[in-house]
Structure 1
């Protein structure tokens, strides 16, 4: 007989990338894992109301891809099968303009993977859903935590039918996102709220999609044009699974990015390289430009979290999106959670 899992029920609050990877991390140690998300969950690759930023360009760093693959073997192949770009060695498969100069081609020994955020999330969700002990429920809002200052024992939820109920859990993983609800939830059970640090960055960006050509950027799969102190604006282009480029142009200091085609092209020509502008010149935008504003980075520190509670992803730290680290940080945190459970086999704290 297989040994009984150390945890009976684990509740994961949030069905985005961080929450889904947390579910994958805890699944080997739990008899039951319940993932709860307030949004109805799409059947295929699609955005959700709570993730308006999902339609913008998203990078998956090498560490993120490797971490997801560790938690969910077959992830890379599934994305590629759906049309994602397995970009080979990241030192040669793209153009890196860093510090105002072009980094010379080199072998880094790490693989890249390019696709849209909805595609990444869809594949992760389907692989997690395949785990026999995992339940994923959309349209379910978490109202608060159960327990006291010493231990969290579950959650209060409101289901799609509008009825309130309680779910008892040995471990609650808070992946509720950047807005974070721990500051309200923890004091209600007598626990200390997190201490939040904010760093103003004033990032504004706009994203468009254009048809990709095979010979664009000499066949490269991505381009990164990082901002510099002298040029506090930049951009990124990534080949997508639908045969398009997703192009995001960004600025700091709360400088608006133009959303009209001519303005976008002129903005792209003002970067440290004109390469992004060449992808816009003479091409029809597939949609009106999407604009977004990211005012600050946030870091939450939990001075005395109750046992049975852990936060992950943007609920802990949301970083400057122009560095493309969000999904990868969440994946690394999920691997750390798996490692800790492998070591202790429990949710002691």
Structure 2
């Protein structure tokens, strides 16, 4: 098994790339370093060439967000992208239906079930169809195939919608070793939130929670890192709240700046509605910064509640933020535990774990 094709909705260089795309790049670059021939097929990305090479693997970007599915399937069935020995399907909402047309060894990587996210992504009827496709129509085709997911929480959710327990394996995400302790914290209480600016991330809820926390911590500041379709709406909300003095919308930042921002913040926060894995929470943990986040399945995998951070229902998020910021001993204890936990989470282990599952179906 030397030649591997991976199918993904978006590419790492896409302006809308997020945690799923980072995950794919991390394991593909390691597979390429190990001598495997990896081809990554995705939709077209604004400002990016149709074909390129990145981190040792080949990237083909063709088709819109919707046409990429039939175009890729036809290309694979007709071998227009060349022969391959195994296939990795990255299922991000819409499945590639590889069990129907692929006769090679294959696995599916599924970060999370979208569930309530569909209502934020698509209008009513289409949202209902997307939800049905993900939870009712597609699973029967996949239940005999091996599915890999980053967390036990998502594994449980997949089993609930009909996947076979023995066919779903959790391989935890890794964390780049550059996310490590250093520097010093800001003098005043500070929060960092890092994510694509999209409805599912619920930055409006986070703003409300931080505003509530400021009643107890009046000098608190919030820095939001990222860009996306909700950027203009977020700017309007900041203006409407009169929050410009304590909220910074930093946009996209480079890796070194992000590490420095994680290190200097007192806590990292997320109000997301759904996640497969809270990647920004473990990145911050590596920098010695504990998390306060919504109590959802994906966050339960990246945060051990009460040990490496605090998880709360939306109505209690502001109180949880205030508690961690004002209880210095609690925050220090959480930070130490968070950093120690993340030290064992490496992308090398993730890449090896996913490849191990691919070998499992190839023998």
Bin the TM-score by the shorter chain. Answer: 0.3 to 0.5
TM-score, with length taken from structure 2 = 0.32
Larger helix proportion, structure 1 or 2?
A: 2
